[in-house]
Amino acid sequence: MPATGTSPDRVPRHVAVIMDGNGRWASKRGLPRTLGHRSGAQAVKALVTACGERGIAHLTLFAFSSENWRRPEEEVGTLMALLLEALEDEVAVLHRNRVRLRFIGDRAGLSAALGARIDAAEALTVGNGGLQLNVALDYGGRWDLVQAARALAVEVAAGTRSVGTIDEAALAAGLALAGQPAPDLLIRTGGERRVSNFLLWDLAYTELYFTDLLWPDFDAAAFGAALTWYAGRERRFGAVAEAS
């Protein structure tokens, strides 16, 4: 159910999150960056629970971008190990809570073990009708647009589609989030004010909420503050404001 005092039509259907600040959170405490990522994983669990409690239907998390491969090898290895660990430990819990788990991004560079776990998690939860949880892994917004455009080009080359039928709907149908509503609210933690190649098409009319909190510190109260801010926004989608 929506939070007390919040009108149901003021609760976003779809929330996207750029989870920034794990490394800085650890560094401020004199800890290895890897421990920051472990603390960040706990914040993810809390957010998934909060979304379910507040009646949010879709949650998309930017877990690992296509650019994150440039990070130190040890850190990348830790991130992948944490994801594999989470899939082993948490998928059964998500399934019991009727969460449907989907992964979006380029899977070609993932290990065979991780790819197999991802496939199994998606297959197990495919019929669930609760929160739709999208995890963006080795994902980039430009990659997303390119792979959708390539698919259309293949259809044109094969003679199954004419160039004149390519419109916004046709392109959107080939994107990673096809079939889901665009995010209503994007939250970025960590103090940066940019979208960092995340869901470039889908964020066209999304409300953007930035906070200086580092991701491991983003708790239920911080999420509530973001939702309160969203509830006060006037979403016009290019139209003019209604006369008072």
Active site residues: 20, 68
Other Cβ atoms closer than 10 A to 54: 18
* Beta-strand pair 185-188/132-139: unpaired
DSSP code string of the chain: -PPTT--GGGS-SEEEEE---HHHHHHHTT--HHHHHHHHHHHHHHHHHHHHHTT--EEEEEEEEGGGGGS-HHHHHHHHHHHHHHHHHHHHHHHHTT-EEEEES-GGGS-HHHHHHHHHHHHHHTT--S-EEEEEEEE-HHHHHHHHHHHHHHHHHHTSS-GGG--HHHHHTTSTTTTSPPPSEEEE-SS--S-TTSSTTTTTT-EEEE-SS-GGG--HHHHHHHHHHHHT----TTSPPPP-
Quote the CA–CA distance of 216 and 218 in Å, as a whole number. 6
Can you say how many angstroms the Cα of residue 109 is from the centroid of all Cα atoms in its chain? 19
